Structure 1
């Protein structure tokens, strides 16, 4: 938590509300879902005020903990950069560090590990059917990384189990 607060303090683009949420989280050693959602709401309001179409936020517990997914209409220039920097600027100002701190909390990571472990048997079946061999004794995140490294079939198995983060 302290790490993200320090990064946010050093970033001149971060607004006072995001810093306040992080400060309170450091003091409490916990970042509440409601505070996380509030920061995302601020980002999405900023994006919408710039005239950019928003998709979400959508409540999601597929990783074992509550989180919000969102998107926005965006394109890219030939150089690869965004055609409209406003959404990224809004997120950076209002929720970027809060989002990182929220998902990095030890309690969230424990819940995520449990949710991933619960998907291990079905994922093991999928990778075996695809002819992928990975040491099943590895800790869950190392095991998943090896599946990702195995190629497209491994990534297809992760997608089939709706594993979007680890």
Structure 2
């Protein structure tokens, strides 16, 4: 299942189910992607408007950054699901002999590193998004200040949720 290529309702149904994945890590990435999409919306309402000609290049740069982050965070939704799958696979390895137990422990440790790498990347992307939100707050269409705030709150949610997945 590729969540980025699926309808949002498919992802939400799976998230609400008793399946082990998707879970909080992919939800954190989705929150960040939603924030980036809102940032893009604000930039799109600014770019090309005569009233904002003085900040046109900055708005285009912000738009490009939001679109890049949206794509990267969307891909991290799937990456988190796949990282959990590797952990689950390692957990199912046999553990009858001491050699099998050692192999299983090593596989679990390696999978946990990968599973932690995804939410840490979500944190980095969320931080980048917050910087773009600051820029949009300064240059964006003032009618959309609440949307910039929502984008920033979603970035904070992505960061906080991702950190929980690393710390627990």
TM-score by length of 1: 0.26
Structure with more strand by fraction: 1
Structure with more helix by fraction: 2
TM-score by length of 2: 0.26
The structure, 1 or 2, with the larger RCO (C-alpha pairs under 8 Å, 6+ apart) is 2
